[in-house]
Amino acid sequence: MELLTALSAPERDREDAVTVDGRSLSYEELAGAASAVASRVAGAPAVAVHATPTLETVIAVVGGLLAGVRVVPVPPDAGTAERAHILRDSGATLVLREAEDAGTDTYDGIETVPVRPGERGRFRAPLPDPEAIALTLYTSGTTGAPKGVQVSRRAVAADLDALADAWAWTADDTLAHGLPLFHVHGLVLGVLGALRTGSRLVHTGRPTPQAYAAAGGTLYFGVPTVWSRVAREPEAARALASARLLVSGSAPLPEPVFRDLAALTGQSPVERYGMTETLITVSARADGERRPACVGRPVAGVATRLVAEDGSPVPYDGATVGELLVGGPTLFDGYLGRPEATRAALTDDGFFRTGDMAVVEPDGTHRIVGRASTDLIKSGGYRIGAGEVESALLDHPAVAEAAVVGAPHPDLGQQIVAYVVADGVSEGELVAFVADRLSAHKRPRAVRFLDALPRNAMGKPVKKLLPPL
C-alpha cells in the first residue's frame, strides 16, 4: 500500500504502533484488521465511516484505502439532516462502524459493516492509482449544504511528505493528539501522517491537558482551544517540555497562549495553515523561526499568491492585506458533483481562492488575518483584518476569548465590533487598550460581553452565531 508505507515495514513493527484511548494495535495487527475490512468493501463506489475517536475508525479508514475505495468520514455528532445529506451526496453504499453498533438502522437504511479490531484478513489487489480519490471530506460554506471535497491519494502523499520535511517528522517520533477523526487535522495528519512516516501514534481520546501530559509524545498536534487549556494547567504543560515539537492549527493561536506555552514548555509552538481543499500548505519549520500570529512559509511544492479584490498582486510588505491563493500538488480534485462551484473556487491557472485574508512579510512569512467573508472589515476607507484586533484584545489580561466582526455603520461603512469573554474590565478600557497597540482606526467602536463564544467541533468561533448588537 504505497500511501501508508509503515504498514509494509515489518522491521518497524511495534505492539503499540497505534494506540487510541488506551487500546493498541501493532502494524501487523492493524494491517490484518484493515485487510478484513478491505475484503468486504472492495468494489464499492464509496464507503462511509462513522468517525468516532476509536481504533475502529482507524481500521475502517485504512481498510477503505487499502481496497482503493473512496472513504467518506461522517462526524459522529452529525444531525439527521446533515448525515442524510453526506450519505446521499457521497454515493456511499456501505457504512463502516463499531461492531456493537453495526446492526442498528441509524444510517438511512444503508447497509452497515461491523469493524472488529480482532479480525484478521489477507487482502491482495493491485496498488490503487495515485490519482484516485482517497477521501471525500465534507466542509460547510457560508451558504447551502456541505460540499464534498475530493482529495486524491497523490495529494495526501504529497502533503504528508512536505510536512515530514518541514517538521523533521520521522519513524523515531511518537505523535500524540486527541483531535476528531473526520477532519484533515485529526485524520489526514493525525492518523495517515503517522502511518506514512512510521511514527508511533497515541490518540488520547479526549484532548485533556492531563491526557496530553501522560501521552509521552515527541510531536503533539492541537487546536487553540486545546493549547489554551494546556497553558492553564502549568503542571500538564511542563510535562510536554520533553517533546520535540508542539504544532497548532485549524484556527489562529492567541498570542498570550503562544507565549505561555513557550514559557512553560521551553519552546515556541509551530503554527501552520491549511484548508480541506488544499490540505496543509503553509507552516513554520522545526528548524526555523516561530513567531506569534504567524503561520510560516509555504511547504515544499506549494506556491502562494496575495491578491487584491481586482486580482492584482499585493506587495509582501508585512502590512497590506490581500486574499491568499494557493497552488500545488496538495490541492483537491474539485467538489463532488459541483463543477460550477469547483470552477468558481479556482483561478484560470489552477490556484485555489482560499477566501482567507493574509499579510506576507518581506521574508515570505505569512500571517492570516481572517476570512474575506466575515473578517475583512472595511471601515472609513481602511481594510482591517479581524484577527489582528482579536489578537490585541487577547493580550489584555482580563480577556479570555475574543471575536471581532464588522457591522454596518452609516458613516464608516462598517464599524469594528468586539465580542469578548472578560472579567473586571470595561468597554472603554478595552477600546483604549487596542488603540494603544494598533492604529487608532483599528479600535473597536462597540464591545459586547458574553459568557462564552459559540464554537464548532474544532474550537473555532462561529461568528454567524454571535448575538446581534
Instruction: Give the integer Cα–Cα distance in Å for 205 and 469.
Output: 38
In a domain, 200, yes or no: no
How much is the pLDDT for 413? 78
Tell me the average pLDDT across 399-426. 90
Count up the domains in the chain and report the number: 3
CA 334 to chain centroid, in Å, comes to 19
Please answer whether residues 67 and 55 qualify as being in contact, where contact means their C-beta atoms are separated by less than 8 angstroms: no
357 or 61, higher pLDDT: 61
The band of 196, judged by pLDDT with boundaries at 50, 70 and 90, is very high
3-state secondary structure of 115: strand
In a domain, 56, yes or no: yes
CA 262 to chain centroid, in Å, comes to 22
Residue 420, Cβ neighbours under 10 Å: how many?
Answer: 25
Structural domain boundaries enclosing 42: 5-167
Angle in degrees, 0-180, between the axes of helices 224-231 and 255-265, rounded to the nearest 10? 50
In a domain, 42, yes or no: yes
Tell me the average pLDDT across 382-393. 81
222 or 408, higher pLDDT: 222
Boundary-marking domain end, from 315, 342, 371: 371
Please indicate, yes or no, whether residues 346 and 253 belong to a single structural domain of this protein.
yes
The answer, yes or no, to whether residue 391 has pLDDT greater than 90, is: no
> Lowest-confidence range among 52-66, 97-111, 163-177, 205-219?
97-111
- Cell 492570516 sits on residue: 368
Please indicate, yes or no, whether residues 14 and 34 belong to a single structural domain of this protein.
yes
The CATH number of the domain where 403 resides is what? Answer: 3.30.300.30
Please answer whether residues 98 and 56 qualify as being in contact, where contact means their C-beta atoms are separated by less than 8 angstroms: yes
Instruction: Give the integer Cα–Cα distance in Å for 420 and 430.
Output: 10
The answer, yes or no, to whether residue 179 has pLDDT greater than 80, is: yes
Please indicate, yes or no, whether residues 29 and 151 belong to a single structural domain of this protein.
yes
Tell me the average pLDDT across 429-458. 88
Please indicate, yes or no, whether residues 381 and 296 belong to a single structural domain of this protein.
no
CA atoms within 13 A on the CB side of 458: 21
H helix intervals, 395-461:
427-437
135 DSSP β-pair partners: 71, 151
3-state secondary structure of 296: strand
271 or 224, higher pLDDT: 271
Please indicate, yes or no, whether residues 23 and 93 belong to a single structural domain of this protein.
yes
In a domain, 337, yes or no: yes
Boundary-marking domain end, from 337, 371, 405: 371
Tell me the average pLDDT across 325-352. 97
How much is the pLDDT for 11? 57
The band of 144, judged by pLDDT with boundaries at 50, 70 and 90, is low
Q: Which three cell numbers stand for residue 163?
A: 510536512
The CATH number of the domain where 53 resides is what? Answer: 3.40.50.12780
Please indicate, yes or no, whether residues 290 and 414 belong to a single structural domain of this protein.
no
Instruction: Give the integer Cα–Cα distance in Å for 332 and 90.
Output: 15
Please indicate, yes or no, whether residues 49 and 134 belong to a single structural domain of this protein.
yes
> Lowest-confidence range among 97-111, 174-188, 199-213, 383-397?
97-111
The answer, yes or no, to whether residue 1 has pLDDT greater than 80, is: no
Please write the tens of the pLDDT for every residue from 406-418.
888 877 778 999 9
229 DSSP β-pair partners: none
Please indicate, yes or no, whether residues 352 and 426 belong to a single structural domain of this protein.
no
> Lowest-confidence range among 158-162, 195-199, 295-299, 372-376?
372-376
How much is the pLDDT for 193? 97
Tell me the average pLDDT across 117-140. 92
How much is the pLDDT for 407? 87
The band of 107, judged by pLDDT with boundaries at 50, 70 and 90, is low
Please answer whether residues 398 and 427 qualify as being in contact, where contact means their C-beta atoms are separated by less than 8 angstroms: no
Please indicate, yes or no, whether residues 127 and 141 belong to a single structural domain of this protein.
yes
Please indicate, yes or no, whether residues 39 and 133 belong to a single structural domain of this protein.
yes
Boundary-marking domain end, from 167, 182, 216: 167
Instruction: Give the integer Cα–Cα distance in Å for 99 and 86.
Output: 22
The enclosing H or E element of 133 equals strand 133-139
The band of 13, judged by pLDDT with boundaries at 50, 70 and 90, is low
In a domain, 192, yes or no: no
Pairing of strands 94-98, 46-50: parallel
% of the chain with per-residue pLDDT over 70: 95
How much is the pLDDT for 252? 82
DSSP secondary structure letters along 379-408:
ETTEEEEHHHHHHHHHTSTTEEEEEEEEEE
Please answer whether residues 38 and 121 qualify as being in contact, where contact means their C-beta atoms are separated by less than 8 angstroms: yes
The enclosing H or E element of 368 equals strand 366-371
- In order of 4, 117, 150, 169, 394, the CA distances from 9 in angstroms are 10, 20, 28, 17, 46
